[in-house]
Amino acid sequence: MTKHYQHIEYYSDKVKWFNFVRFNYSYQARDEHILVSNTNIFEFLEKLNHRETDQTIGIISRVCTPYGEEKHIPILDLSIYPNQENAHFVKSTFEHEGISGFLLNSGNSFHFYGKDLLYEDEWLRFMYKSLLIPTVTDTRHVGHRLLDGYGTLRLTTNAHKPKIPELILEW
């Protein structure tokens, strides 16, 4: 497992099917959704390093559990600058809400992955509550995710985003 995707490994026993999206940063391009089983997840993630460079791969929050339940990985794009002081502020903010997770440095900000899978109504509440901390949350991103009905975060680089999101904190 490459170090860039170790946070995804956490979910491999909790999720039977992962959803990913392949997209270009172009208004003409159509998104392509990719369904990957937990038995093939590591092979899929390794192949991300050898994809076409004009394409970006992102994870979709909606997953299927081994019991056939549809749930969401609580994921957020944050708007706060990625430094140590802000990382600890984000951690304490989520801990105050009783939420454990992973914090990744995505280059210009952080990505957050919650550890507990959420049912649809719980995911909606999580997303709505995230809008109440606009100094931390990318509220525009959350608005788009609410309209889509699922969250997304990129896993790979592209011309506009040259840094692979890297895990910096887990709690």
Query: What's the pLDDT tens digit per position in 69-107?
Result: 999 999 999 999 999 999 999 999 999 999 999 999 999
Residue 2: is its pLDDT beyond 90? Answer: no
60 by Cβ neighbours in 10 Å (0-12 / 13-18 / 19+) ranks as buried
pLDDT score at 30: 58
CATH topology of domain 3-170: DNA primase, PRIM domain (3.90.920)
End-to-end CA distance of the chain: 21
Q: What Cα–Cα distance (Å) separates residue 114 from each residue in 61, 95, 97, 163?
A: 10, 11, 12, 21
Q: Write b or e for each residue in 22-46: b if 16 or more Cβ atoms lie within 10 A of its Cβ, otherwise e.
A: bbbeeeeeeeeeeebebeebbebbe
Q: Average of pLDDT values for 44-55?
A: 69
Q: Residue 141: pLDDT band by 50, 70, 90 thresholds?
A: very high
Q: Which two tokens stand for residue 90?
A: 């984000």
pTM of the entire predicted model: 0.89
Distance between CA atoms of residues 30 and 17, nearest Å: 22
Answer yes or no: is pLDDT of 29 > 60: no
Burial-class residue 166 by CB neighbours within 10 Å (0-12, 13-18, 19+).
Answer: middle
Tokens matching residue 86:
């802000």
Cβ atoms of 147 and 139 within 8 Å: the answer is no
Spatial separation of the C-alpha atoms in residues 67 and 17, rounded to whole Å: 11
Q: How far apart (Å, rounded) are the C-alpha atoms in residues 153 and 155?
A: 7
Over residues 103-114, mean pLDDT: 96
Q: Which of 44-48, 124-128, 132-136, 164-168 has the lowest mean pLDDT?
A: 44-48
Q: According to the model, what pLDDT value does residue 4 have?
A: 75
Residue 2: CB atoms within 10 Å: 11
Mean pLDDT of 12-16: 92
Instruction: Tell me what pLDDT residue 26 has.
Output: 58
